[in-house]
Amino acid sequence: MAITLSSGFKMPAVGLGVWRMEGKDIRDLIINAIKIGYRHFDCAADYKNEAEVGEALAEAFKMGLVKREELFITTKLWNSDHGHVLEACKDSLNKLRLDYLDLYLVHFPIATKHTGVGTTSSAIADDGVLDIDTTITLETTWHAMEDLVSKGLARSIGISNYDIFLTRDCLAYSKVKPAVNQIETHPYFQRDSLVKFCQKHGICVTAHTPLGGAVANTEWFGSVSCLEDPVLKGIAEKYKKTVAQIVLRWGIQRNTVVIPKSSKVERLEENFNVFGFELSKEDMELIKSVDRNHRTNQPAKFWGIDLYA
């Protein structure tokens, strides 16, 4: 199952996110995922594992498991490289051992002090707050992203962690419209207005943290996971599925792309096995009722400033 982007390219509805994946585990993770059926991989310069992903992809191609044109590879421009978009994209391509990206995203709508292409550092000023660069506009960054399309380095370009106002602005100043807005959204943080706004204007929504972050975000940010929700557990029992499968299926039926992460083969299989059933309208409405407006991913912990405030 895939969603056709405004750029004309198809994006698989389920992908694998590689955030917080250790380098030594990447090879087995990518190879196993491809064998299971994954064709969409979500990367980022800031995850600091593009080189390891590139090695695994090269091995998969060499083994004949998959061809490059059968994969959809996403990576992202880090905050400190907004003034160096072309160089940053080429650095990611070099690490990933690819000639082009299927999708290149602006990771966050914020430019920070440049620390060297590909270093993905978050420079903190003397006051303990993120060192924000106020000389680079998001419009300037976007026009540099558009140049990547004309150069053939990125087939589609998009945004990430943009709210309605910033998304609207991007639509207004863009020549190449953003094909995707990747945002945190899950049953406890449904963001229906933003999702509907994007879809109304031809922007595909990709759900990062589609399972609510689970253990990873609980450890880092002290957040609450929707996977323990009694309503969702009840629906899972009804369909004889896991709660994770219910949550991912809900995301797919909202016409969003979901990119869960897992390093366990059984979970990779479970997360991919979400196409053989459909949630009823009543159960989709029931899931709507559990929304808590609860964001689990909180970069303010590291940046000394809440950009969502």
pTM, two decimals, is 0.95
Strands (E) located in the chain: 2-4, 10-12, 16-17, 40-42, 72-77, 101-106, 154-160, 180-184, 204-208, 257-258
Look at 38 and 214; give whichever has higher pLDDT: 38
Question: Which one-letter amino acid corresponds to residue 281?
Answer: K
Check 38, 47, 162, 188 and give the catalytic one: 47
For residue 154, is pLDDT > 80?
A: yes
For residue 213, is pLDDT > 80?
A: no
What band does 120 get if pLDDT is binned at 50, 70 and 90?
confident
For residue 219, is pLDDT > 80?
A: no
Tens of pLDDT, residue by residue over 82-102, are 999 999 999 999 999 999 999
Question: What does the pLDDT read at residue 225?
Answer: 85
Highest mean pLDDT, choosing among 17-31, 110-124, 129-143: 129-143
Question: What does the pLDDT read at residue 205?
Answer: 98
> For residues 268 and 261, what is the distance between their CA atoms, to the nearest angstrom?
8
Q: What percent of the chain has pLDDT over 90?
A: 82
> Catalytic site residue 239?
no
Mean pLDDT value across residues 162-172: 98
- Look over the chain and give the mean of its residue pLDDT values, rounded to a whole number: 93
Question: What does the pLDDT read at residue 211?
Answer: 92
> For residues 105 and 267, what is the distance between their CA atoms, to the nearest angstrom?
27
Question: Which one-letter amino acid corresponds to residue 85?
Answer: V
Tens of pLDDT, residue by residue over 8-41, are 999 999 999 988 777 778 999 999 999 999 999 9
Question: What does the pLDDT read at residue 307?
Answer: 82
For residue 220, is pLDDT > 60?
A: no
248 and 269 Cβ atoms separated by less than 8 Å = no
> For residues 125 and 120, what is the distance between their CA atoms, to the nearest angstrom?
16
Question: Quick one: how many helices (H) and strands (E) in the chain?
Answer: 12, 10
Question: What does the pLDDT read at residue 216?
Answer: 57
For residue 212, is pLDDT > 90?
A: no
Tens of pLDDT, residue by residue over 99-108, are 999 999 999 9
42 and 15 Cβ atoms separated by less than 8 Å = yes
What band does 222 get if pLDDT is binned at 50, 70 and 90?
low
Question: What does the pLDDT read at residue 201?
Answer: 98
What band does 280 get if pLDDT is binned at 50, 70 and 90?
very high
191-200 exposure pattern, b = at least 16 Cβ within 10 A, e = fewer:
beebbebbee
For residue 206, is pLDDT > 70?
A: yes
The lowest-confidence range among 171-185, 213-227, 288-302 is: 213-227
| Bridge partners for 258 per DSSP | 14, 207
